[in-house]
Amino acid sequence: MMNKNGMVTNIHTRIRTDPFTGNYELLGRELGRGKFAVVKKCVDKATGKEHAAKFLRKRRKGEDCRMDILNEIAVLESAKTNPYVVALHEVYETNSDIILVLECAAGGEIFNQCVADNDEAFTEKDVIRLAKQILTGVACLHRNNIVHLDLKPQNVLLTSAVPLGDIRIVDFGLSRRMDSVSEVREILGTPEYVAPEILNYEPISTATDMWSIGVLTYVMLTGQSPFQGDNKQETYLNVSQVNVDYSQDAFEGISSLAIDFIKTLLLKNPRKRATAEGCLNHPWLNGLTDPQTHPHLLPCSLPSLDEPETSQSESEPESPA
């Protein structure tokens, strides 16, 4: 089932209605929060394994958002063989929330290392490795006609911070299926990271994610958000004019190949932007550091979202064991 906005709401995961706290112990520490979700660390009482529990409120601003949450679950399911997308373990439902039990990305947001002081900030070599992983993950999504639409440093996590681990892409709350592409126009992400076509209410495509990856790479390398203005309006103007600082000052000690890479993405015309596959072949990512790795050749065969299986969009009561 897919609605006109590219949301998919047929899910395969059984939604459990037995108490979440019967099976998991919540550890007090909050891992993070966004607009409508709180994410907390929890431990599976049976296995002792740590997970991240994302509590999503079903009602937001007086509106029923269950369909949005089912869409998020469906996208996570469709990406379960994608090595760089966070794994979905289980789903619970209470009166007020739907709880996604996710793989815990213990290293936190790459955001923290983007704004960190010099000794903790990423080196260009780090960024090359992480960018390859992000692109491999996103290429995999795009091959399956999924666009993320909210790629930013708060939604790209690390399996560990020290030593620097691997990427896990999270937060598919705005993600859409692109098959019936035309009418996906109304979604707004975060101004600093959204492409000009979103601000202009033009059609969205996989190229929209590629813009965000350009911004993300810029931030990871320089610690500066390229379009951020003093207010929202100024930011919007910077985005729509593609007003970017590529000066030596901003890119001190960073290779010109890196700048060239970003320039293939921060292009106003979405059709001119590099694709994820194309990016993986860019010389910046294929330099002298590990030439033996070809992350884009990783297997990635994802099941189609349309595959008829035991589809489920309604919660079922848990049958007692």
Contact (Cβ atoms closer than 8 angstroms) between residue 190 and residue 182 = no
Kindly report the backbone phi and psi dihedral angles of residue 279, in degrees, each rounded to the nearest multiple of 5, phi listed first: -60, -40
Taking the least distance from each CB to Mg ion, the nearer of 31 and 266 is: 31
Q: Does 31 bind ligand ADP (CB under 6 A)?
A: yes
Q: Which of 10, 78, 124, 173 binds ligand ADP (CB under 6 A)?
A: 173
* DSSP state for residue 87 in the 8-state scheme: P
Burial (Cβ within 10 Å: 0-12, 13-18, ≥19) of residue 287: middle
Question: Of the listed pieces 85-93, 170-178, 223-231, 261-269, which binds Mg ion according to CB under 5 A?
Answer: 170-178
Q: Does 97 bind ligand ADP (CB under 6 A)?
A: no
Q: Does 105 bind ligand ADP (CB under 6 A)?
A: yes
Q: Does 85 bind ligand ADP (CB under 6 A)?
A: no
Active-site residue (options: 64, 97, 119, 150): 150
Question: Of the listed pieces 59-67, 167-175, 186-194, 277-285, which binds Mg ion according to CB under 5 A?
Answer: 167-175
CA-to-CA dists, residue 2 to 9, 75, 310, angstroms: 6, 12, 16
- Nearest in space to 75 (alpha carbons), one of 320, 303, 309: 303
Residues in binding contact with ligand ADP, number by CB under 6 A: 22
Minimal distance, residue 154 CB to Mg ion, in Å: 5
150 classed as catalytic? yes
Place of tokens 């910077």: 238
Count of C-beta atoms within a 10 Å radius of residue 43: 16
Q: Which of 1, 2, 18, 34 binds Mg ion (CB under 5 A)?
A: 34
- In the complex, the residues that contact Mg ion under the rule CB under 5 A are 34, 155, 171
